[in-house]
Amino acid sequence: MWLICDIVDPVTHRRYSRDPRHVANKAEAYLKASGIAETSYWGPEMEFYIFNSIRYDQTVNEGYYHIDSEEGIWNSGKNGVPNLGYRPHLKGGYFPTPPIDKLQDLRSRIGLGLAEAGIDVEVHHHEVGTAGQVEFDMRYDTLVAMADKVCTFKYVVKNICYREGHTATFMPKPLFGDNGSGMHTHQSLWNQETPLFYDRNGYAMLSDLARWYIGGLLAHAPALLAFAAPTTNSYRRLVPGYEAPIKLAYSARNRSACVRIPTYSERPALRRLEFRSPDAMANPYLAFSAMLMAGLDGIRRQIEPPAPVEADLYELEGDAATAVKDLPGSLEEVLSALESDHDFLLEGEVFTKDLIDTWVAIKREFEVDPVRLRPHPYEFMLYADS
């Protein structure tokens, strides 16, 4: 059993200003009041790892983690039990069939559990990473409804994996040298049955409204990531070389761009954008609301994004390379960006200054500083015998 509810002050019975679900409700109300659109639809792709074992500890005199997985390529030479092989190589796990994909049946049981919880799963599959990286895509829904489903999704996944003798983690980068897990977030605006992001004559069949929305996302992306990629571990994923969406650009096909436009169908109803930088450690109520507010700011101010880039952004050289900016590379940087760029979130009192200040303070005190102050295991590889 699980419970999703709103939080109210027990004395005044007024909604609690720091309640993330209250923020999301206000974001939906602000969208309708803006006159730009009536509804926003959201469709996150949930990537995560399923391991057989995960051990970790951090004390004064030691700090370690140890991950194991029957699928892990590091077990290809393991002896002591019959070794039947068939494991995804590093960055080689995209869409294998059994017996290389050893989690197909478990994913199907997860899908059935999600259906029982009222969540429509459109697809599930093995992802790129060895050692059990998987993806589930849920059918799109409105902002608050989808944020509710993301919370339910994580609860169901963890409990079914635990019941089956596995452990699921939504950490963006649990493995060194392999792909991280993101939460690519599809989004669009509608008026009743009319999709507002479609224009047959626009680039990738995008309307002016959609282009300005993208302009807002890219302009505010550093601040957005304080909610959408909100952990120190998020920035182990957002690095070049792993399909990491770190380039402040948009494209119809480019996986290294922050914003990608799906183009497998020309149907107007399927015209949307995919913001690829968030991960599933985000609070979905705050992350979706912040993205919506950034997009609406882009529409209101008619922010033009940089020209779309079709080439591989990591292969650009010279002036072409320097023209495309990167996302910040740490949680500390995006928290600072949020401090200096948050007026768009305060529109309509959707976010409050108190919530933003509290979020930044807690993140710095309980995540940034504790990680910064501790010796890293690899530092012993570098310096212990110096």
Q: Can you give the length of the chain in residues?
A: 386
Over 80: is that where the pLDDT of 254 sits? no
Q: Give 7-46 pLDDT, tens digit per residue.
A: 998 888 899 999 999 999 999 999 999 999 999 999 999 9
Average pLDDT over residues 246-266: 88
Q: Model confidence at 255, in pLDDT bands (50, 70, 90)?
A: confident
Average pLDDT, the chain: 94
What per-residue confidence (pLDDT) applies to 80? 77
What per-residue confidence (pLDDT) applies to 240? 79
Tokens matching residue 26: 């206000």
Q: Model confidence at 204, in pLDDT bands (50, 70, 90)?
A: very high
Q: Give 65-99 pLDDT, tens digit per residue.
A: 999 999 999 999 988 778 998 999 999 999 899 99
Helix ranges (DSSP H) in the chain: 20-34, 104-116, 143-163, 208-228, 234-237, 284-301, 318-322, 331-340, 343-346, 353-363, 369-373, 377-383
Task: Count the Cβ atoms, other than its own, within 10 Å of residue 58.
Answer: 10
What per-residue confidence (pLDDT) applies to 317? 78
What per-residue confidence (pLDDT) applies to 249? 93
What per-residue confidence (pLDDT) applies to 241? 72
Whole-number Å distance between alpha carbons of 206 and 346: 28
Whole-number Å distance between alpha carbons of 34 and 375: 49
Whole-number Å distance between alpha carbons of 253 and 105: 31
Strands (E), 18-120: 39-51, 53-58, 63-68
Q: Model confidence at 315, in pLDDT bands (50, 70, 90)?
A: confident
Label residue 367 exposed, middle or buried (CB < 10 Å: 0-12, 13-18, 19+).
middle
Over 80: is that where the pLDDT of 329 sits? yes
Which of 198-202, 305-309, 316-320 shows the lowest mean pLDDT across its residues? 316-320
Cβ–Cβ under 8 Å, residues 71 and 166: no
Whole-number Å distance between alpha carbons of 294 and 345: 7
Q: Give 281-308 pLDDT, tens digit per residue.
A: 999 999 999 999 999 999 999 999 999 9
Cβ–Cβ under 8 Å, residues 215 and 227: no
* Cis previous bond, 99, omega within 30: yes
Please provide residue 51's backbone torsions phi and psi, each rounded to the nearest 5 degrees: -110, 165
What per-residue confidence (pLDDT) applies to 110? 98
Q: Give 158-172 pLDDT, tens digit per residue.
A: 999 999 999 999 999
What per-residue confidence (pLDDT) applies to 233? 97
- Give the residue among 357, 353, 300, 285 at the shortest CA–CA distance from 28: 285
Over 80: is that where the pLDDT of 120 sits? yes
What per-residue confidence (pLDDT) applies to 79? 85
Please provide residue 184's backbone torsions phi and psi, each rounded to the nearest 5 degrees: -55, 125
Cβ–Cβ under 8 Å, residues 234 and 281: yes
CATH architecture type of domain 20-373: 2-Layer Sandwich (3.30)
Which of 140-149, 202-211, 315-324 shows the lowest mean pLDDT across its residues? 315-324
Q: How far is CA 138 from the centre of its chain?
A: 14
Contact residues for 180 (Cβ-Cβ < 8 A; gap 6+): 172, 173, 236, 237, 238, 242, 244, 279
